[in-house]
Structure 1
């Protein structure tokens, strides 16, 4: 049986249908890399930490969840990192649609408005 933790740790690869890009998580370099179909790197995004349990790509923003400190970070470019929902405990998962963030916790779901 799979533990919840093993389900939340990303497999390391995400495919972006809209842009035809493959995102590879490189924990050793603390970054994620977007590859084009021809194999060339299109984009590299540095991560605030190698410790994260989930990534959500909603370009141009990338959201990273660190379960250790219950923090969701929004990375807008190489230099700007904005932190969301500090101190929210027991986050199981999250999803972003347009300017809404849906957070799933054991006792229910929470919606947050994201200012873009």
Structure 2
């Protein structure tokens, strides 16, 4: 069932630290995280999901394919991008505590012959 053309989706759940509001996290994503990923690759889109009780978020990276993600993170320019991204990561860690992560691939429920 492995089809390399399917999207790779990375999920990471984070707990908001005391005194942090969901709006603080959204502002960080809008102001620092999204622009950084836009510079990284056109092959990735980001999402943010808020728990119903407002105490945790799931950060979602959706890559065109596993190969697209691997090509980006193994490129010569990735280490420079990663170094530039460190201030955003430091702020992220100030706002949130890591809970768990999991990776998935999209499943085409229409079937192989669907148009």
TM-score range, shorter chain: under 0.3
> Hey, which of these two has a bigger chunk of helix by percent?
2
Larger radius of gyration: 2
Task: State the TM-score, normalized to the length of structure 1.
Answer: 0.27
